[in-house]
Amino acid sequence: MREEVAANLRLWDGWTDLHMSGTDYDVDGFVADPESRPFDWLTRDVVGDVAGKRLLHLQCHIGIDTLRLALAGAVDVMGVDFSPRAVAAARSIAARLDLPVRFVHADVRELPDEVPEGVYDVVYTSYGTIMWLPDLDRWAQMIASRLAPGGVFHIIDVHPFLTVFDDVTTEPVLGVRYPYFSREPLRFEEHGSYADRDADFVAESFAWQHTFSEIVGSLLKNGLQIRRLQEYPVVAWKALEFMMEGQDGLWRLPEGAGDVPLMFSITASKPATA
Ligand SMILES: C[S@@+](CC[C@H](N)C(=O)[O-])C[C@H]1O[C@@H](n2cnc3c(N)ncnc32)[C@H](O)[C@@H]1O
């Protein structure tokens, strides 16, 4: 495993512990009443009706979204994450809810045989995923191989346009801080986590920029067909210090700070016949 990915694994194991005990993911609240924590409007719009569909959720973290998809009627649901602690946490939450969802510990670029090829009607990934992957070709290859003929892949994630901007300043100004085209990982020192900014936790992280052409191109190169591509002026977490949270739980730029895409979604399908 390359050094930066190993550092990210340490980070995610640590963040898993924070998220299992913190208030943002509110695991006990979710277990007590999963219906009280529905998907946001954007996820509902992209994912649509999953009832009766065989579903694979990549980079599932502690499995909350995976379990929501099972509760929405998806079948043979499987979640994959490379953090052993996240997978253990996801299994424990599934057991508390008595849901037959399987969680597999694996790197999404090297899916094992346990994640069967050619069977999933839906492969889904969202909210902070590809930034952790050094390259997307292998990722897209894995997605294409696991989809059933005619199956669809959905991704909702941070727009690559957003990730060039200064995420340190509190001044409501979009200043370019990071490169767009670089393939080198960006190193960050994380204090707390995105879900618990005040937690007593420090670790390094590495993130990769992926251009829009790389994202779309990796899917096309691996035989998927783009069915829908959307861009949004909202993002699922406070990506820049001066963002403001809306009533819908999504974050926006304040009035006058700019009008740029903050997240994107893609739905791509595998041809029904070879
Ligand atoms: C921000 S979370 C995704 C958000 C998740 N959908 C949720 O609702 O909490 C990113 C996840 O990606 C996982 N991850 C990072 N790199 C990975 C890789 N190479 N293979 C598999 N999982 C990975 C992390 O362990 C983490 O759980």
74-95 tens-digit pLDDT: 999 999 999 999 999 999 999 9
Q: Determine the pLDDT at residue 274.
A: 62
Decide if 36 is inside a domain. Answer: yes
Cα(209) to centroid of ligand 1, in Å? 16
The residue range of the domain holding 263 is: 3-269
Where are the extended beta strands (E) located within 173-217? 186-191, 202-207
Determine the Cα angle at 169 with ends 177 and 235, to 5°.
Answer: 80
Coil, helix or strand at residue 181: coil
State if pTM tops 0.95: yes
Is 274 a domain residue? no
Note whether residue 20 is domain-resident: yes
Is 259 part of a structural domain of the chain? yes
The answer, yes or no, to whether any atom of ligand 1 lies below 6 A from the CB of 264, is no
Q: Does residue 206's CB lie within 6 angstroms of at least one atom of ligand 1?
A: no
Residue 37 lies in a domain: yes
The number of folded domains in the chain is 1
Domain annotation covers residue 87: yes
- Domain assignment present for residue 197? The answer is yes
Average of per-residue pLDDT across 3-24: 93
CATH number at residue 108: 3.40.50.150
- Look at residue 183 and tell me if it is in a domain: yes
User: pLDDT tens digit string along 108-153?
Assistant: 999 999 999 999 999 999 999 999 999 999 999 999 999 999 999 9
Expressed in angstroms and rounded, the spacing between residue 206 Cα and the centre of ligand 1 is: 13
% of the chain at pLDDT higher than 90: 93
